[in-house]
């Protein structure tokens, strides 16, 4: 591993969530303050606050794409469609690799808001066997899209 993948993996292993880890990996390229970036993406982990909706890694990737290609106050409106197209590409490629981009489905339909779901998550090492792979996949896809 090198570059973005290594930065994302290191952050994830430090205990940051999937969204934070992915977005953090691109902070330097996007000229963003790492501390602000970690705080900004904190609520997106676990499919948005453990609601297990869109995978947090995917959300982190979408945020990175938005920072790279998105429309700001003085930008042309066409950048919105560019960003939407790149967002769909990320989601479609991720879904093709993993079968879904929904956190709950990726985690064997376990409810992380319950003790039983949490226990299953730990006992089956889903953080490393699933979430880590999702983080690495999103980084790979985002790198490809940003080229």
pLDDT in tens, 53-109: 999 999 999 999 999 999 999 999 999 999 999 999 999 999 999 999 999 999 999
Comparing CA positions, the residue from 117, 121, 65, 118 lying closest to residue 88 is: 65
Structure tokens belonging to residue 30: 């996007």
The three-state secondary structure class of 111 is: coil
Is residue 53 packed enough to be buried (19+ CB in 10 Å), middle (13-18) or exposed (0-12)?
Answer: middle
Cα(121)–Cα(115) distance, integer angstroms: 10
- Cβ-Cβ contacts under 8 Å for 143 (sequence gap 6 or more): 3, 4
Report, as an integer, the average pLDDT of 13-18.
98
| Dihedral-angle region of residue 126 (phi above 0 means left; psi in -120 to 50 means alpha; beta otherwise) | alpha
Q: Identify the pLDDT of residue 2.
A: 60
Residue 124 φ then ψ, to 5°: -100, 10
What does the angle CA 62 – CA 46 – CA 129 come to, to the nearest 5 degrees? Answer: 95
Residue 54 φ then ψ, to 5°: -60, 130
Q: Of all residues in the chain, what percent carry a pLDDT higher than 90?
A: 99
Q: Identify the pLDDT of residue 65.
A: 98
């Amino acid at each position: 591993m090198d570059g973005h993948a290594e930065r994302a993996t290191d952050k994830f292993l430090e205990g940051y969530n999937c969204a934070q880890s992915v977005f953090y990996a691109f902070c330097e390229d996007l000229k963003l303050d790492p501390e602000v970036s970690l705080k900004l993406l904190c609520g997106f982990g676990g499919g948005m606050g453990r609601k297990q909706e869109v995978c947090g890694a995917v959300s982190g990737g979408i945020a990175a794409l938005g920072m790279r290609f998105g429309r700001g106050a003085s930008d042309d409106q066409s950048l919105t469609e560019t960003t939407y197209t790149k967002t769909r590409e990320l989601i479609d490629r991720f879904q093709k690799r993993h079968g879904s981009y929904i956190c709950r489905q990726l985690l064997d339909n376990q409810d992380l808001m319950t003790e039983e779901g949490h226990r299953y998550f730990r006992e089956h090492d889903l953080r490393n066997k699933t979430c880590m792979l999702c983080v690495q996949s999103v980084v790979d896809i985002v790198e490809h899209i940003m080229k």
